[in-house]
Chain A
Amino acid sequence: GIQVEQSPPDLILQEGANSTLRCNFSDSVNNLQWFHQNPWGQLINLFYIPSGTKQNGRLSATTVATERYSLLYISSSQTTDSGVYFCAVGGGGTSYGKLTFGQGTILTVHP
């Protein structure tokens, strides 16, 4: 199956700093999503981005499908950005919604 690798595994920032999280995947995908898991365990869908670039406030994401990677940018980080960020990918057809998750990047933002 598809392999998903995220880097870095851990990231510690001061409030206001910028960061880039990376997701590499081993095969072509039709579905790529970024999720944030907050410290209470709730998973929130950030982006659906199998290709191209999207922005939502301080967060933006870029996927270069031909090179099999995606980047999540967090600008002017806040303590509420802390948690785990997961990249998840899915194939085509009936595999579209079946996501394979990376191991996540643990982000800690200090005030």
Chain B
Amino acid sequence: NAGVTQTPKFQVLKTGQSMTLQCAQDMNHNSMYWYRQDPGMGLRLIYYSASEGTTDKGEVPNGYNVSRLNKREFSLRLESAAPSQTSVYFCASSEALGRQGYGYTFGSGTRLTVV
């Protein structure tokens, strides 16, 4: 059971380049998320998808776009990378578990450097 898989794990971009971060989950979760983590800070929500076919902005969406390709996959695109987007990006998925609470699973992260 792989959980949440992110690719790539590391990436260096030049300012102005574009790239897509890929995320896939195999837990049949409805909801998926993209967060960024900067040094000394907690995670901040970029975009989320409550269910297949829907996406919505989070706290820091500027400079990013997302696509919920199907129930399993949720990609994050940087159209024109900027040094301020240097960060570690985490994808996550979640599902309500009734009495057991709320299952939230993170991928292992993508470390992105924009030079």
Contacts and interface: CB of A to CB of B under 8 A. Distances in A.
Interface of A: 1, 4, 31, 33, 35, 41-45, 48-49, 86, 88, 94, 96-104
Nearest to B108: A42
A104 B37 CA distance: 11
Given A1-B59, A33-B102, A43-B90, A99 B108 contact: no
Contacts of B74: none
A45 B104 contact: yes
B101 to A, nearest CB: 3
Given A31-B102, A43-B106, A45-B103, A101 B43 contact: yes
Interface residues of B, number: 29
17 contacts: A4-B42, A33-B102, A43-B90, A43-B92, A45-B103, A48-B97, A48-B100, A48-B101, A86-B43, A94-B56, A97-B31, A97-B33, A99-B104, A100-B45, A101-B42, A101-B43, A103-B41
B41 A97 contact: no
B33 A98 contact: yes
A35 B94 CA distance: 14
A102 B104 CA distance: 16
Nearest to B51: A94
Contacts of B31: 97
